[in-house]
Amino acid sequence: MISVLGQGVAGLCAATTLAERGFAVEVIAPASAPAAASDLAGGMLAPFCEGESAPPVIVARGHGAADWWAARFAGVVRRGTLVLAAPRDQAELDRFARATAGHVTTDPGVLEPELAGRFARGLHFPTEAHMDPRAALGALRGALIARAVPFRGGPPRGRIVDCRGMGTAAHLPDLRAVRGEMIEVSVPDLRLTRTIRLLHPRFPCYIVPREGGRYMIGATMVESARTGGVTARAVMELLSAAYTVHPGFAEAEVIATGAGLRPAFADNIPAIRRDGARLHLNGLYRHGFLMAPALAADLADILTDEFAHAD
């Protein structure tokens, strides 16, 4: 029996892969557990764009994520990412193009008619995808329950796989929090169909379309473990960036705001760590939905190997 602690993206991907590979699994998720940071994620599956600041391993291992999710969740939208910059920030676009691969230069208005005439050029990353992260996690949970994987509180009964993000910081002294803030708005009149990233030297942002005319606008990156609600400054920065993309955002209804703590190691690369008999899958940073499937596969390999040797 494997006891997966936590039901954020790390825990549910781990439990899913382990269950699919034939392990007996339980998910330990007490009702009192804090909400998962992944509930606030953008849900982008954008390995090339992340490569702007992430090391090559993230790009390489993130490639399989869109297929992995699409095999388990019907809501993966594969329309790519469109990267834009305001006219005076064109240097940012050039830098982004040099720092990444997998893109073509494009006329944004051709891809997204709502943007016609607003931006002279953009970068299109056609193979990238996005999805609603909460719906995707709901699909994993549903499939696990259908396989009779128990979700419960109480003490774990099996080998511990700890996927609790910042909730397990006491076990991982080099894990730090990187605060992120996001807002969700509703603008039914505005029709953007793919993830938009707006480059800015200080306030970069991304806009991820969701069903029903909703958009997720994120996300700040602050080297702080501060909990508590989204700051006015974050809301101002994110909304003004969204407004730069399309003035229609000024008429949006703000339907949610959120702030959470991303767990990160010093190199910002997600990792599996051993801690006695406990295995940690943690440090997903801003790459949770992109990297959790690859780490879950690594985890299943490790456990398969161990169980084989134990026989």
Partner 1 sequence: MFYGIDIPSRLMLGTAGYPSPAILREAIAASGAGVITVSLRREGGEGAAFREILRASGCRILPNTAGCHTAREAVTTAQMAREVFGTSWIKLEVIGHADTLQPDPFALVEAARILCAEGFEVFPYATEDLIVGERLIEAGCRVLMPWGAPIGSGQGLRNIEGLRSMRAHFPDVPLVIDAGIGAPSQALQAMEMGFDAVLLNTAVAKALNPVAMAQAFGQAVAAGRIAHKAGLMPPRDMAAPSTPLFGLAELADAL
Region of 283 on the Ramachandran plot (φ > 0 left; ψ -120 to 50 alpha; else beta): left
Which residues, listed in sequence order, are joined to residue 176 by a DSSP beta bridge?
264
The smaller minimum CB distance to partner 1, of residues 29 and 182, is found at: 182
Residue 266 Cβ vs partner 1, minimum distance, rounded to whole Å: 4
Q: Which residues bind partner 1 (CB under 8 A)?
A: 53-55, 95, 98-99, 176-177, 179, 201-202, 222-227, 233, 264, 266-269
The smaller minimum CB distance to partner 1, of residues 4 and 284, is found at: 284
The smaller minimum CB distance to partner 1, of residues 191 and 233, is found at: 233
Residue 97 Cβ vs partner 1, minimum distance, rounded to whole Å: 11
The smaller minimum CB distance to partner 1, of residues 21 and 95, is found at: 95
The smaller minimum CB distance to partner 1, of residues 91 and 256, is found at: 91
The smaller minimum CB distance to partner 1, of residues 33 and 222, is found at: 222
Residue 282 Cβ vs partner 1, minimum distance, rounded to whole Å: 14
Spatial distance between the Cα atoms of 45 and 266, rounded to a whole number of angstroms: 23
Residue 218 Cβ vs partner 1, minimum distance, rounded to whole Å: 17
Residue 202 Cβ vs partner 1, minimum distance, rounded to whole Å: 7
Q: What is the 3-state secondary structure (H, E, C) of 151-214?
A: EECCCCCCEEEECCHHHHHHHCCCCEEEEEEEEEEECCCCCCCCEEEEECCCCCEEEEEEHHHE
Residue 215 Cβ vs partner 1, minimum distance, rounded to whole Å: 25
The smaller minimum CB distance to partner 1, of residues 69 and 285, is found at: 285
The smaller minimum CB distance to partner 1, of residues 162 and 181, is found at: 181
Residue 240 Cβ vs partner 1, minimum distance, rounded to whole Å: 11
Residue 122 Cβ vs partner 1, minimum distance, rounded to whole Å: 20
Q: What is the 3-state secondary structure (H, E, C) of the chain?
A: CEEEECCCHHHHHHHHHHHHCCCCEEEECCCCCCCCHHHHCCCEECHHHHCCCCCHHHHHHHCCHHHHHHCCCCCCECCCEEEEECHHHHHHHHHHHHHCCCCEEECHHHHCHHHCCCCCCEEEECCCEECCHHHHHHHHHHHHHHCCCCEECCCCCCEEEECCHHHHHHHCCCCEEEEEEEEEEECCCCCCCCEEEEECCCCCEEEEEEHHHEEEEECCCECCCCCCCCCHHHHHHHHHHHHHHCHHHHHCEEEEEEEEEEEECCCCCCEEEEECCEEEEECCCCCHHHHHHHHHHHHHHHHHHHHHHHC
